[in-house]
Structure 1
């Protein structure tokens, strides 16, 4: 039996479980037991750097899982760039840990599982950030898991030497996530989770990861539903402008790194590459929130390698070569206000378009999204970046999965608290996370904010449990969340007053989809 003690309806303050990985001791509070810092793979250090993760052998002694494990090595932050973010405390190459929150009180219980993948431009973040604490969601009858994965160059460096060694290169961070899902299949029953009812969710770069897993044959059968918040792998060109996921261009970027340190980009040079200090890779991987329009020599993002990811993900999607799952997906109205700054002028707007669309297609984008007195450069930049970097790929996925007869539910988070307006963020990228996880927001439904958080968290939980976000019991202000279909494109709008409508700005989105994904941009 996985529990040491099974004859009580409650758990001791420091419960111990016996999953296949080895015994773990967590912490029990308010009906939820939490197990932090569980290693799901061997440390990816030394000879294991730039290799697929290796399963962790079972341990015998009870492992103290009361504290988070180290985050992936990183410097700076996409949403927070201050001197404090450059320190290395609590960050390490030895970072492949996951955290579990479970409502199970007996070994026989089985709850649906929600695995959340954090964002951070593939260069920062961790599963231990306070906003992702799974305690409140677990109280609603869901086992919640957050994970770390390798970031920056340590997670996504691609070189010719690494390709020759392993037959694939550049997607170590995605392989980490697949290994975590395999660990879950083997171990989650001991935590009261159902391995046949796993939903994978993510936000921003995490959403890019979720959509990558939906395309990866290596992830087939490891999850059954997907939550996609603000992003998709198809929009990689909006950030990774220098290689756009292309294998050869990404490996050329890797050679540039090798050349910088006098290392041969070959099998013979791999020992030297693996011997470089990890801090170097963290520094080279840093992304700042104001660099969306600035040329960047190094950018480390997933690569379409033909093994972990199809070489042509757009073609794979349109051909139905995907892992079929139910989907909940959506975006925030003012995603780009986190990235596009108030000083944006015509030149910055034009440079942004050339970075996103390439030299051949940028003139068409600039002509369609023209600048005049009613459409200033800042407004256009905010608009086009929200579409290209976050929304358009999700709409493509939603349409195709609906055509494949998979249930799809699409949302728009449109709540615009006054305090955000003061700092110029509006309904910015990532703001929905506070509402979905419910951390930092009161639970008593006494205010508009706490009520909206309750509705959103319950909708997510309903989807995780039943594959349908709609409520079974009535509540004040309730409306039906209709399924997304390719013709009408119905969406749910989350504001202090709920509403349902057709996806707005469809002509602009269709224009960009044709411009970006009909073969004119080299993926």
Structure 2
């Protein structure tokens, strides 16, 4: 996946709460130096591994960089995370922790330390502590594909969501890239390798089960959700026996994960990693400095692991229905940690009783072309060449169909519509269709709010592009980002955050002054179009859906 750009929030707000014996109520706290800073008065609580200190942030309590597992460096690389080690004294949890190793400019946090191999920490935002609360827990998995990102990005800060809707929000960092998803299962006795990043998430969910009641959360009402790569990770968790019972609802935003990477494909990648380091013994990978591992991971994007064989190249070429979000590194359907592809060809039975909220943005692909302003000026001939390259003989047929349904669309707008369907839209529909055959309800949406954030070097805006919905889910629309600052933004943010939090509470998405959201089925295919004024439409763009589904 393309990396989200690092952006600093512009919002300056004063947090506000003081102590009662066990409950924290609104009052004035210390003025923060940046929007999401954790400030005094500070708060101490005790969890299973020791005492921690948090503070106030934007109307809620925040506890950051809490360890949920032990060290995963050295001899613990490529393995399931070990238990967290206890500590004495009071651990300062007022600042963000390190994200997983990744390239410069790709971390998401504001005032975040540099990446580190030992990165298994989580952040908690809550309205109150030690009050006997039974609040829904919203457990967020960050985007950035499987190679970048962190749970500390400012627009994903959980303070507003916790304070406004009386929920507990958790966001985690976990292993990424080679350290999180390199598969050694066919080359030695490494039973958890290939999915160690996913097992980090299971460890964090186990931490939630053990500790979240201290923060007023209900361990028996946990929703896992995520955007982009975070949505894909959520789908994979739904098919993991070790995660079963640790969460009870799921939300997938622009990240429909139908299947994992095959063992053969993952093993071939590993052989090429070993060759790149001039190694024959996988055990020697434990001694490779993390800087070299990250260097190879970054170089892979430039073909460092490429091979002249057409078969291997075909596995790694993005195409509709493939694991293009995972790229070279991602969860492996190994028959153990991930026994089967979660939603291909049928949904995992592990998800049968789990309600699902799923959707994508209307103009996803704008995000991925935003660094190429010349794209937005392409003429019909150039667009036709792009379609033929991507779809072969079907290219002209696809363009003709989309042009018929969008007679006033520019050439670039046609490409955006087609690319959005191929990258996220089609698999979102497929996953929703298959999951809807199970007893638990499915609710499908399309995010339509049109951002006015400019695309540099063009006369375009981001529109309803990929990742422009993140800040709205978290009710952080004041922090300037991809969502822009146009009319109707507040209404759209309250609608989307209300739908998500009410779904987390009781699996029934609702929002004040917005329409009721019907359960999804393949009979009518109702989709909530989320905007400043939402609406339900049955089977939007049905002709295009039928075309793609006819292709298989």
Q: Does 1:40 align with 2:40?
A: no
User: Does the CA contact (< 8 Å) of 2:205 and 2:246 recur in 1?
Assistant: yes
SS in 1 for 2:47: coil
Relative to structure 1, the CA distance from residue 54 to residue 388 in structure 2 (aligned partners, 3 Å threshold; closer, same or farther) is farther
Which residues of 2 match residues 124-523 of structure 1 at below 5 A?
124-139=148-163, 140-160=165-185, 164-234=188-258, 245-264=261-280, 269-286=281-298, 299-315=328-344, 317-318=346-347, 320=349, 322=351, 324-340=353-369, 341=372, 342-343=374-375, 345=382, 346-351=384-389, 353=390, 362-363=391-392, 365-366=394-395, 368-370=397-399, 374=403, 378-379=412-413, 381-420=415-454, 422-441=459-478, 448-471=488-511, 474-475=512-513, 478-513=514-549, 515-516=551-552
Give the deviation of 1:280 after TM superposition: 2.4
Deviates more, 1:25-34 or 1:278-287: 278-287
User: Does the CA contact (< 8 Å) of 1:371 and 1:377 recur in 2?
Assistant: no
Counterparts of 2:342 and 2:532 in 1: how far apart (Å)?
37
Unpaired runs of 5+ residues, structure 1, are: 237-243, 354-361, 517-523
Give the deviation of 1:411 after TM superposition: 1.1
Counterparts of 2:539 and 2:434 in 1: how far apart (Å)?
16
The CA deviation string for residues 496-518 of structure 1, in whole angstroms up to 9 with x for no partner, is 322110232334334434545xx
Q: Does 1:28 align with 2:56?
A: yes
Give the deviation of 1:167 after TM superposition: 2.8
Counterparts of 1:384 and 1:76 in 2: how far apart (Å)?
32
Give the deviation of 1:367 after TM superposition: 5.9
Relative to structure 1, the CA distance from residue 441 to residue 298 in structure 2 (aligned partners, 3 Å threshold; closer, same or farther) is closer
User: Does the CA contact (< 8 Å) of 2:222 and 2:249 recur in 1?
Assistant: yes
The CA deviation string for residues 446-489 of structure 1, in whole angstroms up to 9 with x for no partner, is 95211221222122111111211114xx53xx322222111111
Give the deviation of 1:250 after TM superposition: 1.5
Relative to structure 1, the CA distance from residue 157 to residue 448 in structure 2 (aligned partners, 3 Å threshold; closer, same or farther) is same
SS in 1 for 2:170: strand
Counterparts of 1:170 and 1:367 in 2: how far apart (Å)?
40
Greater percentage in helix: 1
Alignment TM-score, normalising by the size of structure 2 = 0.79
Unpaired runs of 5+ residues, structure 2, are: 1-18, 26-39, 304-315, 404-408
Relative to structure 1, the CA distance from residue 89 to residue 318 in structure 2 (aligned partners, 3 Å threshold; closer, same or farther) is closer
Which residue does 1:358 correspond to in 2? none
Which residue does 1:73 correspond to in 2? 101
User: Does the CA contact (< 8 Å) of 1:435 and 1:453 recur in 2?
Assistant: yes
Give the deviation of 1:283 after TM superposition: 3.0
Give the deviation of 1:396 after TM superposition: 2.3
Counterparts of 1:332 and 1:506 in 2: how far apart (Å)?
16
Give the deviation of 1:20 after TM superposition: 1.0
The CA deviation string for residues 347-376 of structure 1, in whole angstroms up to 9 with x for no partner, is 54444x3xxxxxxxx546536424699588
User: Does the CA contact (< 8 Å) of 1:78 and 1:288 recur in 2?
Assistant: no
Counterparts of 1:77 and 1:159 in 2: how far apart (Å)?
30
Query: Would you say how many aligned residue pairs link Structure 1 and Structure 2?
Result: 480
Counterparts of 2:211 and 2:218 in 1: how far apart (Å)?
10
User: Does the CA contact (< 8 Å) of 2:274 and 2:282 recur in 1?
Assistant: no
Counterparts of 2:401 and 2:48 in 1: how far apart (Å)?
63
Give the deviation of 1:405 after TM superposition: 2.2
Q: Does 1:63 align with 2:69?
A: no
Give the deviation of 1:432 after TM superposition: 0.6
Give the deviation of 1:56 after TM superposition: 0.5
SS in 2 for 1:23: strand
User: Does the CA contact (< 8 Å) of 1:253 and 1:298 recur in 2?
Assistant: no
Deviates more, 1:98-107 or 1:255-264: 98-107
Counterparts of 1:470 and 1:417 in 2: how far apart (Å)?
23
User: Does the CA contact (< 8 Å) of 2:239 and 2:340 recur in 1?
Assistant: no
Give the deviation of 1:31 after TM superposition: 4.4
Which residue does 2:31 correspond to in 1? none
Counterparts of 1:29 and 1:231 in 2: how far apart (Å)?
29
Counterparts of 1:63 and 1:98 in 2: how far apart (Å)?
14
Counterparts of 2:227 and 2:299 in 1: how far apart (Å)?
17
Relative to structure 1, the CA distance from residue 373 to residue 150 in structure 2 (aligned partners, 3 Å threshold; closer, same or farther) is closer
Deviates more, 1:125-134 or 1:487-496: 487-496
User: Does the CA contact (< 8 Å) of 2:96 and 2:113 recur in 1?
Assistant: no
The CA deviation string for residues 282-339 of structure 1, in whole angstroms up to 9 with x for no partner, is 2333499999989999821222211222344444634645353111111110001111
Which residue does 1:90 correspond to in 2? 114
The CA deviation string for residues 30-54 of structure 1, in whole angstroms up to 9 with x for no partner, is 5421100001111210011111111
Which residue does 1:239 correspond to in 2? none
User: Does the CA contact (< 8 Å) of 1:290 and 1:339 recur in 2?
Assistant: no
Which residue does 1:102 correspond to in 2? 126
Relative to structure 1, the CA distance from residue 512 to residue 286 in structure 2 (aligned partners, 3 Å threshold; closer, same or farther) is farther
Relative to structure 1, the CA distance from residue 466 to residue 497 in structure 2 (aligned partners, 3 Å threshold; closer, same or farther) is same
Counterparts of 1:287 and 1:382 in 2: how far apart (Å)?
28
Give the deviation of 1:13 after TM superposition: 1.6
User: Does the CA contact (< 8 Å) of 2:125 and 2:169 recur in 1?
Assistant: yes
SS in 2 for 1:410: strand
Alignment TM-score, normalising by the size of structure 1 = 0.83
User: Does the CA contact (< 8 Å) of 1:333 and 1:414 recur in 2?
Assistant: yes
